[in-house]
Amino acid sequence: MSARADVLIIGAGPAGLNAALAAAPSGARIVLLDDNPWPGGQIWRDGPQASVPTQAQRLREHVGALNNVQHHPQTRVIAATGPRQLLVEDAERGWVIDYDTLILCTGARELLLPFPGWTLPGVTGAGGLQALIKGGLPVRDQRVVIAGSGPLLLASAATARHNGAQVVGVAEQATRGAVAGFAAQLPRWPNKLLQAFGLFDRHYRTDSHVVEALGTERLEGVRLRQHGKLIELACERLACGFGLIPNSQLGQALGCTLHGQALAVDAWQATSEPGLFAAGECTGFGGSELALVEGTIAGLAAVGDRQGAARHWPQRARWQGFAKALNHAFALAPQLKQLARPDTLVCRCEDVPYSKLAGQRDWREAKLSSRCGMGACQGRVCGAAAQHLFGWQPSAPRPPFSPARIETLLCLDDTPPA
């Protein structure tokens, strides 16, 4: 089974939705794929306990009303089966999509760094806890500690607090001076200043980071280093997020050049591969406002409206300034590379401790000697951690990019040779 799109968009977060909205007036046949049940991405994640912003609701409604946009939720890319051709799968079937132009809006994921006890039940990512709560996880009256770096910590704390949790600590690894310097620049972006006031938590502490999660069968508490001193807090949940890293694997597999960990793009949001654009956090973290305007530019450029796309450059530059200030203020401190002990697991899927990796030369050698990155997550967690800890560059992923049914892989037999 096969389908065709003039413009194929992977990811229905802010960037993907705006890309579809911008490209739609051209009359192009647009297909929008996303692996979540509802559009909105992680930042506007829907669920039983989610409160979706009005802006997100309106954008979803506008895109949903477009006759030339076909949205496929809970759909994953399995493989590239030929030039401008992808094999995809949803809950019921697999099929091949041919496209003329591709826009990658694959977002970002949390950076999870290993530390003693991080695999205990009750320990999650900061964004992971937020997603679980929105999906219905009960946290009422549970004591919660949030640790790591960046504004996501306060957003996660607010979600937990609004759902009845007792937030007993928010540990930000950045220094007081760095955070104060960032806060002093927020009047340049008034809505971000208001947002910061709304998210403030009285338990927020700078110069603080997690040292160890405490417990035997499950989490019982957390040890933090706060302003140079060790403190312990009893808690039922610990959420740690050390910033975001771009989901650039699909673009990398399709041959796109990277800039650091992100997909490299030009002024039109075009990648190094002809006919392939990228927008949003897969090109670097900068918040929903930057993702929205990048999506608009990519959508317009993808259908040939360069004049329209260029009109949005000043707005993009404004939010790129915010992204630069944000990423500078919350850059990770060197001591976070020393959190793991020799017996601390780095790869949870294959039970690989830090000591098995410390002597390896690169990611490939580590995989061959320890099976690190060869488990269910395919290196999405440990690969990013190893890159931060050792400076290794993970290799481009090979298909299948996600677990797939045999029936889906059989679609490859129906694909004509390239």
Sequence ranges of the domains in the chain = 2-109+245-326, 112-242, 335-390
Q: In CATH terms, are 2-109+245-326 and 112-242 the same topology?
A: yes
Does CATH number 2.40.420.20 belong to domain 112-242? no
Preceding amide of 274 cis, omega within 30: no
Please state the pTM of the whole predicted model.
0.93
For residue 214, CA distances in Å to 118, 168, 217, 372 come to 9, 15, 10, 25
Q: Give me 335's structure tokens.
A: 């001591």
pLDDT at residue 1, rounded to an integer: 64
Q: Which amino acid is at 114?
A: P
Structure confidence at residue 410 (pLDDT): 82
* Residue pLDDT, tens place only, 214-260: 999 999 999 999 999 999 999 999 999 999 999 999 999 999 999 99
Q: What is the pLDDT of residues 182-207, one digit of tens each?
A: 999 999 998 888 788 778 889 999 99
Q: Which of 307, 299, 304 lies closest to 68, judged by CA?
A: 299
- Residue 8 clears pLDDT 90, i.e. is over it: yes
Contact criterion met (CB below 8 Å) for 290 and 296: no
| Sign, CA torsion 96/101/107/108 | positive
Per-residue pLDDT band at 212 (split at 50, 70, 90) = very high
Per-residue tokens: 157: 């704390």
Mean pLDDT of 55-67: 91
Mean pLDDT across the chain, nearest whole number?
92
Asked if pLDDT for residue 299 goes beyond 60, the answer is yes
CATH superfamily, region 2-109+245-326: FAD/NAD(P)-binding domain (3.50.50.60)
Predicted local confidence at residue 414, as pLDDT: 59
Q: Which residues of 251-271 are buried (b: 16+ CB within 10 A; e: fewer)?
A: bbbbebebeebbbbbeebbbb
Phi, psi dihedral angles at 335 (to 5 degrees):
-65, -15
Residue reference for tokens 């399995």: 78
393 confidence band (pLDDT: 50, 70, 90): confident
pLDDT value, residue 173: 97
Q: Model confidence at 413, in pLDDT bands (50, 70, 90)?
A: low
